A and B are shown apart, each in its own frame.
Chain A
Amino acid sequence: MVGLRAFLSAWADEEWLFGQLLVYRVGFYGPDLEENIALASLAQDELGHAGLLADLFLPDQKARERHFLGRPAEEFSACRLVQVDLAEDWAAFVLRNYLYEEAEAVRLDWFGRAASGMPDLVGLMRREEAEHLAHWRHWVRLLAGDGEGRRRLIAAAGGVAELVGDVFYLPEGGRPQAFDGAELRTAWAARVRAFFREVGLGPELDPLVGRLGRPPEAAGKHPDFFRVVETMQSVYRSEPEAVTWG
């Protein structure tokens, strides 16, 4: 499939970044011990997915290590939704993670239909991502059902809305022919709208949902992204040959 390499590479980058953002949050502790444990497992799953995807276009473990930990931030292809940590605002963190997992469900559905002949990653990833989506839906439901939590979710929505514009964006010449980012975003918006209604999040979040439904646009790197990547790569870069494989 023409353009598939770019699609897989961007997807792998997003999974890797998202996994790193989850585990980064563990260092901030709370809201409770059990959530820290959950974040570590969720993060590990996401990093595993990034590895599965990378295995489709990288030759070995060492190459994968260099790809994620040794590349400069400029070379990553990832949506802004996973370029910022949001670690200090739990409501924003939950909202971002929920939106990303709903987008992931849409992406997995598309890949499962479109990528015939490719190694079937979708089954394994879909089972695991379904657990992740359930987890973040649970958190949105918890916060939406609490006065203070609901207020914080609504307050966070404006900032998170600024990060959603380039989800499913792939540049011309770098996307599979059957990939329609606008169509995927429409599906994404529909899923989120339905869930928000279900948990009683109504008109206050309509502007956010409206942004999800617009066609994807190129956004460039978020100003915070370079610091985020530097943090994630700092240990590896201090001693790139510290870990040997095989």
Chain B
Amino acid sequence: MEVTDRAVVELLREVEDPEVPVSIVDLGIVRRCEVRGEAVRVQLAPTRAACPAREYIARRVEERLRQALGGGFRVEVEWLPSAAWSVDEVSPAGRSAFREYGIAIPEPGADGRRTVRCPYCGSADTRPVLQFGTAVCRAVRYCAGCRNPFEEMRWNEAPPAS
């Protein structure tokens, strides 16, 4: 296998987030993969500053790349707090994976507002219930369509000027 930046990204599709069965590539946190000789540098964006999975994900990235590329490659994983992540970074495949898992990803609308569809019935008639959910990156909503509560990924958008 020729080791290119793109090839490394494809290898990282096999590294999943530990909480939701979605690859870190589809989650949108892989910012850059750079191959220089026998060194690979992977830069990742945290979903939130307090993401507890950072060390775990970094180890999984190192293990996957060493497994695929061989022990001769040096792997460096770097988290970039400045690389702002938002729910818009999640790929269509990632959104499907989240929906399958029961977590909604807000969809941007043309008018700047967001639509949050129920992952169970698909209804857009949902409303926020709790700002904080079972994890630091999630909030709780209620679907008026099927009358189920569900979780959404928090938006991580810049707040209005305070």
Contact = CB atoms under 8 A, between A and B. Distances in A.
B131 A105 contact: no
B46 interface: yes
A47 B50 contact: yes
B70 interface: no
Interface string B81-121: 11010000000000000000000000000000000000000
Interface stretch (A124-132, A164-172, A203-211): A124-132
Given A45-B50, A49-B50, 18 more contacts: A34-B132, A37-B130, A37-B132, A37-B134, A44-B50, A44-B52, A44-B136, A48-B50, A51-B50, A52-B81, A121-B82, A123-B158, A124-B46, A124-B82, A127-B84, A130-B162, A131-B159, A134-B159
A121 B135 CA distance: 22
Nearest to A102: B162
B158 A127 contact: yes
Given A44-B136, A121-B81, A52 B49 contact: yes
Interface string B135-159: 1100000000000000000001111
Interface of A: 34, 37-38, 40-42, 44-49, 51-52, 61, 105, 119-121, 123-128, 130-131, 133-135, 191, 245-246
Contacts of A48: 48-51, 136
Contacts of B49: 45, 48-49, 51-52, 124-125, 128
A38 B135 CA distance: 10
A245 B56 CA distance: 10
A127 B156 contact: yes
A49 B48 CA distance: 9
A217 to B, nearest CB: 27
Closest 5 CB pairs of A and B: A48-B50, A120-B82, A48-B49, A130-B159, A41-B132
